Structure 1
């Protein structure tokens, strides 16, 4: 027999009432059943927990020790149940918006705008490196909307029935490199300037490795490549170990520079998907505003955009 919360609750009831009869009534069970349960508990523990006297039940020293541990656990369980019920009631009463997204610096501004515009809506966020996985979750009803990026040359598999809206037709991918790298002295980096560097890429991001490989081969490069997540990649860039592709909304740090690649050889398409046009309408405007806010806050991307506007 393993002790369960109901057993601990029984011990507390006996101690609080000082009577097996009163405790059984409080627990909604018969006295013989409670007596049998107490005997099994004592057998499991290996000692008597209550002394049966004419005036009722009094905890033994072993019983007091058991109660000192049981009471906090019972209290915590009661609080857990109450808080969970309250949370469930809030969720059932409030509209819900379940968002999925690949990594983007637009997310904080997007969620902030949604919270201000939809104050009564419970908004949840699920991040995933796989855009295809997020799209499948939308199609399966686990998410309401997904904001994802599609690597150029590696089209996503959009499930049947989903609606999509393109936020940015082609977002150029920039490069993260150490601040003291010789190429960082230039406003634009040529891939050939990085021929001797090790690269780092996250192969779990849909299309990322294939897209980068195509670009490197087109430039005649075959560099050493490490596989890992982009948080680790940033740490390694800062220490001069690798260079890595980054989103243009990324910001430089004292030990890391962000630069465009000459000719913008690698791009992604940013899109948002949902099951209905109404669901897209509900989130698209806030996402669009948040993205361009993030773009304005990234100086290198801002210069790149200004240059394209002037050229046009």
Structure 2
């Protein structure tokens, strides 16, 4: 048996109480259970820790040695735990940000890190991130939702960062790669690729296809590099946010009449620091991503009401 801090607490409790029975009452244990545990601790340490008789329990020389160490180790362990908890939960030390797939996180981290340290946590699940924030393990979460879908429920406070159209990525040999815009119906015979998530995007896409008069073929949910490869070899058309930077060799094309939209939200714990400023930085990060895409900038001129939230 390896010695643990809880074993040292038992030894100290017996010494402080002066008897096994009183220590058992203090620890909320049955006396036989505590006696058995004490015997296992003594076997692990190589000898008796207490002399027990009708007058109670008195430490042996080995017991005194163990108690001397316990009186140092137990307060140190408690102090470490309290300090770690203060460090993990104090908003004044760093920003703790979680995010799903999206263009905002990199720019946001860059901006926040200029003020104080930042830690990040990424997940495919908006619900996981929201739950972590509600428990106080994250200050902010960046998540997306398609169409008019709402944000995850709970106690977080939410703000809209952006509303973007969904574009498609086509391989260089695709017969529509040279078009300025394509109708979703023109892609009826295609296979599709998209990044995964636990939201309703796949359902929204299926509904958009149904409105366009067809049922989509195979849908590959995978990472973006694999999506790009499938488009490159002509295996699939990739659905992506308009702020996405098209990989070399692929062509990004808008869809006529915006059959799919993607909104990004910033959720925050009620005690998260600098709420208004952090929201402004998230919007600035999105606006920067828009500036990197001349295609999206031109599209926004013709389609007001999208882009970075005011």
TM-score after normalising by structure 1: 0.65
SS in 2 for 1:166: strand
1:199 to 2:195 alignment: no
C-alpha change, 1:89 and 1:218, in structure 2 (3 Å) is: closer
Deviation at 1:248, TM superposition (A): 0.5
* Counterpart for residue 308 of structure 1: 303
Higher mean alpha-carbon deviation, 272-281 vs 298-307, is at 272-281
* Counterpart for residue 110 of structure 2: 112
1:215 to 2:208 alignment: yes
SS in 1 for 2:177: helix
* Counterpart for residue 262 of structure 2: 268
Cα-to-partner distance string for 1:166-215 (whole Å, 9 max, x where unaligned) = 112x3211111112211111111111221121112345341121111111
User: Residues 126 and 152 of structure 2 are in contact (CA less than 8 Å); yes or no, is this contact kept in structure 1?
Assistant: no
Q: Which runs of at least 4 in structure 1 moved beyond 6 Å after TM superposition?
A: none
Partners of 1:130 and 1:107 in 2: CA distance: 15
Partners of 1:204 and 1:176 in 2: CA distance: 19
Which of 249, 252, 260 is equivalent to 1:255? Answer: 249
Partners of 1:202 and 1:252 in 2: CA distance: 14
1:158 to 2:167 alignment: no
SS in 2 for 1:149: strand
SS in 2 for 1:273: strand
Deviation at 1:283, TM superposition (A): 1.1
Partners of 1:185 and 1:90 in 2: CA distance: 57
SS in 2 for 1:187: coil
User: Residues 150 and 269 of structure 1 are in contact (CA less than 8 Å); yes or no, is this contact kept in structure 2?
Assistant: yes
User: Residues 241 and 262 of structure 2 are in contact (CA less than 8 Å); yes or no, is this contact kept in structure 1?
Assistant: no
User: Residues 97 and 119 of structure 2 are in contact (CA less than 8 Å); yes or no, is this contact kept in structure 1?
Assistant: yes
1:292 to 2:281 alignment: no
Count the aligned residue pairs.
225
Deviation at 1:292, TM superposition (A): 0.2
Cα-to-partner distance string for 1:23-48 (whole Å, 9 max, x where unaligned) = xxxxxxxxxxxxx9xxxxxxxxxxxx
Partners of 2:148 and 2:244 in 1: CA distance: 23
Deviation at 1:233, TM superposition (A): 1.4
**Structure 1: which 5+ residue stretches go unaligned?**
3-35, 37-87
* Counterpart for residue 98 of structure 2: 100
SS in 1 for 2:247: coil
Deviation at 1:295, TM superposition (A): 0.5
**Structure 2: which 5+ residue stretches go unaligned?**
3-45, 47-83, 306-310
**Aligned-residue CA RMSD (Å):** 2.9
C-alpha change, 1:251 and 1:146, in structure 2 (3 Å) is: same
1:132 to 2:127 alignment: yes
Cα-to-partner distance string for 1:261-307 (whole Å, 9 max, x where unaligned) = 10001012211111227552241111111110011101211111122
* Counterpart for residue 77 of structure 1: none
SS in 1 for 2:176: helix
Partners of 2:283 and 2:262 in 1: CA distance: 16
Deviation at 1:125, TM superposition (A): 0.8
C-alpha change, 1:171 and 1:97, in structure 2 (3 Å) is: same
Higher mean alpha-carbon deviation, 88-97 vs 185-194, is at 88-97
Between Structure 1 and Structure 2, the one with more helix by share is 1
* Counterpart for residue 230 of structure 2: 236
Which of 178, 182, 198 is equivalent to 2:175? Answer: 182
Deviation at 1:140, TM superposition (A): 1.5
TM-score after normalising by structure 2: 0.65
Spell out the pairing of 1:34-49 with structure 2 (5 A cutoff). Answer: none
C-alpha change, 1:113 and 1:202, in structure 2 (3 Å) is: closer
SS in 1 for 2:246: coil
